[in-house]
Amino acid sequence: MSMIFGGFWIIFWLASFGFWCWMLIDCLTRRDEDFASGGQNAKLIWALVIILASLVGALIYLFVIKLSKPSRPSVTS
């Protein structure tokens, strides 16, 4: 029984880490204009929230930024 329960926690933490990485990468690649507010430092502030608050910060970022406004691909010329 403990082997199954231990396996659950490993899967949970791996999924949580993957989600955390996904939100951090989304934040760092998102254009500055796509952040609701915060001025020039919005990307830095959100990156710090995700890094310092870990899974909770990633969840907050998901609901406040990612789901509220889809990112547009950055255009490089």
C-alpha span between 56 and 54 (Å, rounded): 6
Q: In the predicted model, what is the mean pLDDT of residues 53-57?
A: 96
Do the beta carbons of residue 51 and residue 6 sit within 8 Å?
no
pLDDT at residue 60 in the model: 95
* HSE value, Cβ hemisphere, 13 Å, CA-based, for 36: 10
Sorted by where each begins, the domain ranges of the chain are 2-66
- Burial of 43 (C-beta count, 10 Å sphere; 0-12/13-18/19+): middle
Q: How confident is the model at residue 69 (pLDDT cuts 50, 70, 90)?
A: low
- Whole-prediction pTM value? 0.79
Rg (CA), the chain: 15
